[in-house]
Amino acid sequence: MLLLNISSILSVTTYQQTAFPFIGGSKSGKQRIDHYFWETEKISTYKHTRNGLIGEDYSSKLSAWLANGSLSAREIYWEIKSFEKEKKKNQSTYWLVFELIWRDFFKYISLKHGNKIFKIGGILDKNYNWNTDKKKLPAPIFHYIDGGADDEVTLRRNTSSFDDCDLIPNILASVGKPDLSTTIFGRKIDMPIFLSPTAMQRLYHPEGDKASARAAEKFGTFYSMSTMANSSIEEISNISSGPKLFQLYVHKDKSITDDLLDRCKRSGFDGMCLTVDTLVAGNREKDHTLKKTINSLEKAKDQKQIWRK
C-alpha cells in the first residue's frame, strides 16, 4: 500500500522534462477534452497525429485519465458524438471511437486471461510454427539455422524459457526521458541487450557480419563476432567503431588462439566471449538425415540418366 501525505499531493510539481504536462483528476481530464476537442479542434486530425509522442498536440493524450479512472470511455464517446454533431464528423473522430472500443476490449482480455497475453502461445496456448519459408533457403542452410543437436530438447527448452519472462513495469517513474543504458566491459551501451555471436552469417545474407556490426553501432550496443564469421577481424574493425566482442574457441594449436587474441587486441575489440561447452561438435541429426536424402536423390538422378541412355 502506498501512503501519501495530503499536503505533499497538493504541492506536486510537474517533471520539467516531461513530454506532456499531466495533472490527474477528472477536472483536468475534462479540461484536456475541452482543449483537444473544442478549443483547438485537434480531434479532427487525430488519425494523422495519433502516433506522435512528444508535444501536447500529438494524439489525444487521454490515456492517463482513462488509466486512473478520472475519465471513462463512455464519457469521451458522448463528447465525440457532440463534436460530430456540432462541428464535423470525419475519419479522425471515427478512429478515436474505434480505439476507445479497442482499448476496452484489450482491458477485458487482460483481466480475463492475465499474463497469457504476453506469452508466445497467446491466450489460446497455441504452438505457433515460426519457421520461415524453406523455399527461400537451401535445405542445409535452413536446417543449420533452424535445427539443434540430437532430439533438440535443449533447443525447445531454450525457446520455451522465454515464456517465463515477464515485463514488469516500474510504477510511479518518470517517462519524460527514459534511460535504458548500461555499462559492459567499461563501455556504455544504449540498451540492455546486444548481438550474440552467430556463425557464417553470409549463408543467409550477402552482407553477413558487416551488416550486423553496422546495425549494432547504429543502435549503440555491442556486436559479437563469431570465430566462424565470414569476415575477418580487421574487416569488422574497419567498418565499425562501436563496442565489439569476439567469441573464441580454445584451439588445440595454441598459436591459433594466441593469433586471434592478438588481432582482436590490435583491432580494438573490448572483450572476449569464451565458449566452454563445445568439447565435441553437436550431433545434428537433421543434417545427417538431410545428407542421406541428398545422396539418395543424387543416386536416383544418376540412375535416371543411365536409364535415359
- Judged by DSSP in three states, 69 sits in coil
Exposure string of 280-306, with b = 16+ CB inside 10 Å and e = fewer, is: eeeebebbeebeeeeeeeeeeeeeeee
pLDDT for residue 19: 64
pTM listed for this prediction? 0.52
Quote the pLDDT of residue 144. 76
Whole-number Cα distances in Å, 289 to 140, 150, 204, 292: 10, 12, 21, 5
The angle, 0 to 180 degrees and rounded to 10, between the axes of the packed helices 91-113 and 73-86 is 170
Q: How is the chain split into domains, by residue range?
A: 18-118, 133-150+282-309, 179-279
Nearest-angstrom CA–CA distance, 12 and 21: 12
Which helix (H) or strand (E) segment is 156 a member of? helix 153-160
Q: Which residues of the chain have pLDDT under 50?
A: 1-2, 4-10, 303-309
Q: Which fold has domain 18-118?
A: 1.25.40
In this prediction, residue 276 carries a pLDDT of: 82
Residue-wise pLDDT tens digits, 109-124 = 888 888 887 777 778 8
CA 78 distance to own-chain centroid: 37
What does the alpha-carbon distance between residue 36 and residue 28 come to, in Å, rounded to a whole number? 12
Distance of CA 54 to the CA centre of its chain: 22
pLDDT of residue 210: 93
Residues 6 or more apart in contact with residue 20 via CB below 8 angstroms = 55, 56, 61
Asked if residue 236 lies in contact with residue 202, where contact means CB atoms within 8 angstroms, the answer is no
pLDDT per position as a tens digit, 230-244: 889 999 999 999 999
Q: What angle do CA 28, 52, 27 make, to 5 degrees?
A: 5
What is the distance between the alpha carbons of residues 231 and 225, in angstroms, rounded to a whole number? 9
Sheet holding 271-274, edge to edge: 223-225, 244-248, 271-274
pLDDT at position 53: 58
Q: Which residues contact 167 (CB under 8 A, 6 or more apart)?
A: 118
**Contacts with 235 (C-beta within 8 Å, 6 or more apart), sequence order:** 210
